[in-house]
Amino acid sequence: MTKTLDNYTRSLREAAIAHHLPPFTDHKSLEADGGPRIIEKADGCYLWDTEGKRYLDGMAGLWCVNVGYGRERLAEVAHKQMLELPYYNTFFKTATPASVMLSEAIAGLLPDHLNQLHFVNSGSEANDTIVRLVRHYFNLVGKPDKKVFLSRHNAYHGSTMISASLGGMAGMHAQGDLPLPGIEHIMQPYWYGDGGDMSPEEFGLKAARALEERILELGADKVAAFIGEPVQGAGGVIIPPETYWPEINRICKEHGVLLVADEVICGFGRTGNWFGLQTLGIEADIVPMAKGLSSGYLPIGAVAISDSIAETLKTQGGEFAHGMTYSGHPVACAVALENINIMKEEGLVDRVRDTMADRLNEGLATLNDLPIVGETRSLGLLGAIELVADKATRTKFDPLGKAGGLCRDHCFEQGLVMRACGDTMVLSPPFVITHQQIDELVAMVRAAIEQTARDMGM
């Protein structure tokens, strides 16, 4: 960053380096860059930094600002709720109108057997909660040895000790001495990367049967639950083959293993239905959710549980000794409820499915002529572009991540926010994105990929 900065931006960057230790950041390289890019305001699908540069937000923040930025109704609801009741807890047999109404609204969007909601403040807390809840549940039903959680390599389930353990991110595991005991990982259904000569359908079955093999190895009496994102997000928008989830349903049922669908990204419309489990046909017992629940306007998460688990907790559970001060925070609940109202009134879920999904898919497919684009794929408004050294053999660049990092930087230069997961460029735009903005986005990605190919000597 060689250009001269205005004083405001410079002072913020210096203060950031001095005091602000941010998450998922290489702090040394941030300092070498002269501090962070500072995003100051947003409207619709666009962001502006302190230097006045505009960006099309291809990521909806971090997969969350589904209704887009600048929603006055959400600000008004928060304002009103803060004046009326800024805080009260939901412990010890109390509730607030907002927390009750939100639980009812979410239950109305879920499949019929999921009716009880437990509120938390993030996706990570939702996933910590499910481990507490499932262990408690199997104690109650007299199976105290049934405790192991199975998950997948390259899954993302959050960043607390338990949720990072449930996740399958090697780098996170290495830094945290994770996973904690009682959590094991199987292969992911990543056909493009791992499918070799198999058809997607064959490979989907193979990846699902890795779950059955591990259950049989450990003993079904030891395995409590399997957790998976309907579509892996942070792992690189990995859309499983169609055979995958039906086979996972069968395996979980047959072996008495609870199925957890982590809907933190897919929930609230991202795949073209209210939940990813509806799009992919997942028969889940437990559903953690966050991000799109409030479109990121305030922090909130939730866990939905099946009627049969709820029945056990209610009839035999006693006090569930778990909760956070801000569980069911009335302002976050009121905003989440209004967010759902907006999505319903504007038909945003139908918009994703019926008008935007194909447009994104076709737009991304136009990039396939570029020599370093190995595959493009999308489901609803979740998309990915695989950058590879050799298309024909699907050979990745070495070191992995360099091309992705360069491409992400070129996207920023173009005025587009995209994220790189290794060398997979991922997209998750707000649902209010227009056809014209998708065309704009694809043109900017094309220019960024062409520049990346030149940088990589291709």
Ligand X SMILES: *Cc1c(COP(=O)(O)O)cnc(C)c1O
- Chain Cα centroid distance, residue 111: 20
Residue pair 404/365 in contact (Cβ under 8 Å)? The answer is no
From the list 194-202, 226-234, 319-327, 426-434, the region that binds ligand X by CB under 6 A is 226-234
* 282 sits near ligand X (criterion: CB under 6 A): no
Give least dist CB 170 to ligand X, A: 17
| Widest distance between CA atoms in the chain | 67
Token look-up 């933190």 returns 264
CA of 212: how far to CAs of 139, 195, 251, 255, in Å?
23, 19, 6, 8
* 156 sits near ligand X (criterion: CB under 6 A): yes
* 229 sits near ligand X (criterion: CB under 6 A): yes
Residue pair 300/267 in contact (Cβ under 8 Å)? The answer is no
Alpha carbon distance 189, 203 (integer Å): 7
- Angle (nearest 5°) at CA 255 between 254 and 257: 115
Alpha carbon distance 282, 280 (integer Å): 6
Alpha carbon distance 74, 81 (integer Å): 11
Q: 3-state DSSP call for residue 74?
A: helix
* 188 sits near ligand X (criterion: CB under 6 A): no
Alpha carbon distance 98, 338 (integer Å): 10
Alpha carbon distance 135, 145 (integer Å): 9
> What are 305's strand-pairing partners?
116, 286
Lookup: tokens for 218:
């450990």
* 247 sits near ligand X (criterion: CB under 6 A): no
Q: Which helix (H) or strand (E) holds 225?
A: strand 223-228
Alpha carbon distance 263, 277 (integer Å): 8
Alpha carbon distance 212, 357 (integer Å): 33
* 150 sits near ligand X (criterion: CB under 6 A): no
* 158 sits near ligand X (criterion: CB under 6 A): yes
Task: Give the count of alpha carbons within 13 A of 25, CB side only.
Answer: 16
Instruction: Kindly tell me which of 35 and 158 has the beta carbon lying closer to ligand X.
Output: 158
From the list 107-115, 151-159, 315-323, 333-341, the region that binds ligand X by CB under 6 A is 151-159
Alpha helices in 154-190 (DSSP H): 161-166, 170-176
Give least dist CB 157 to ligand X, A: 5
Q: Which of 186, 237, 252, 264 binds ligand X (CB under 6 A)?
A: 264
From the list 21-29, 155-163, 400-408, 423-431, the region that binds ligand X by CB under 6 A is 155-163
* 123 sits near ligand X (criterion: CB under 6 A): yes
Q: Which of 66, 96, 103, 124 binds ligand X (CB under 6 A)?
A: 124
Residue pair 235/156 in contact (Cβ under 8 Å)? The answer is yes
Task: Go through the chain and tell me how many residues it has.
Answer: 458
Residue pair 295/64 in contact (Cβ under 8 Å)? The answer is yes
AA identity, residue 157: H
Q: Which of 57, 128, 212, 262 binds ligand X (CB under 6 A)?
A: 262
Alpha carbon distance 236, 190 (integer Å): 9
Instruction: Kindly tell me which of 96 and 163 has the beta carbon lying closer to ligand X.
Output: 163
Q: Which of 210, 258, 290, 432 binds ligand X (CB under 6 A)?
A: 290
From the list 20-28, 118-126, 212-220, 402-410, the region that binds ligand X by CB under 6 A is 118-126
Give least dist CB 453 to ligand X, A: 29
* 129 sits near ligand X (criterion: CB under 6 A): no
* 234 sits near ligand X (criterion: CB under 6 A): yes
Instruction: Kindly tell me which of 124 and 327 has the beta carbon lying closer to ligand X.
Output: 124
From the list 177-185, 187-195, 257-265, 435-443, the region that binds ligand X by CB under 6 A is 257-265
Q: Which of 13, 71, 147, 157 binds ligand X (CB under 6 A)?
A: 157
Give least dist CB 166 to ligand X, A: 9
Give least dist CB 61 to ligand X, A: 11
Closest residue to ligand X, judged by C-beta, is 123
* 146 sits near ligand X (criterion: CB under 6 A): no
Q: Which of 99, 122, 151, 306 binds ligand X (CB under 6 A)?
A: 122
From the list 123-131, 175-183, 325-333, 345-353, the region that binds ligand X by CB under 6 A is 123-131
From the list 39-47, 228-236, 325-333, 359-367, the region that binds ligand X by CB under 6 A is 228-236
* 119 sits near ligand X (criterion: CB under 6 A): no
> Which residues contact ligand X (rule: CB under 6 A)?
122-124, 127, 156-158, 229, 233-234, 262, 264-265, 290
